[in-house]
Amino acid sequence: MKFSPMGIALLGVIAYLSYHAISGDQGLSSWSHLQDEIRSLEEDRNILLEKKERLNLQIARLSGDFIDDDFLEELVRQKFHFVYADEFVIEPPELTSQPRENEDLFALSN
């Protein structure tokens, strides 16, 4: 069986194009990776949209003519560790054994 030079060249071009169609920069494997990245980014986007919605609800509870006093008190207790004078604070053991977040900053300033 003899192959003509034109047949060999045509076979080479077909092999070259097939290779790049599958594993080239714009081939099927790149397309598959891009689809995975799109799915991942869409999941991240959905998580961020849910977070944005929760924050918008919190903003709505703290603005306008009506301020939700219970929600405001909850935020103050969480963010600023507010405690009334007649209340006791009991910290779990795992929290008391860890150094506080700002403890190193105070040590550096003295």
- Distance between CA atoms of residues 30 and 22, nearest Å: 8
CB 24 within 8 A of CB 30: yes
* 96 CA to centre of own chain: 30
- Give the span between the Cα atoms of 30 and 71, in whole angstroms: 49
In terms of residue numbers, what domain contains 79?
Answer: 5-109
H or E stretch including 51?
helix 28-62
Average pLDDT over residues 18-40: 83
Which pLDDT belongs to residue 16?
83
pLDDT tens figures, 35-75: 999 999 999 999 999 999 999 998 888 887 888 888 888 88
Instruction: For residue range 71-100, list pLDDT tens digits in order.
Output: 888 888 888 888 888 888 787 777 556 555
Query: pTM of the full predicted structure?
Result: 0.53
Contact assessment for residue 75 and residue 67, using Cβ atoms and an 8 Å cutoff: no
Are 62 and 68 contacting, i.e. CB atoms less than 8 angstroms apart? yes
Number of domains in the chain: 1
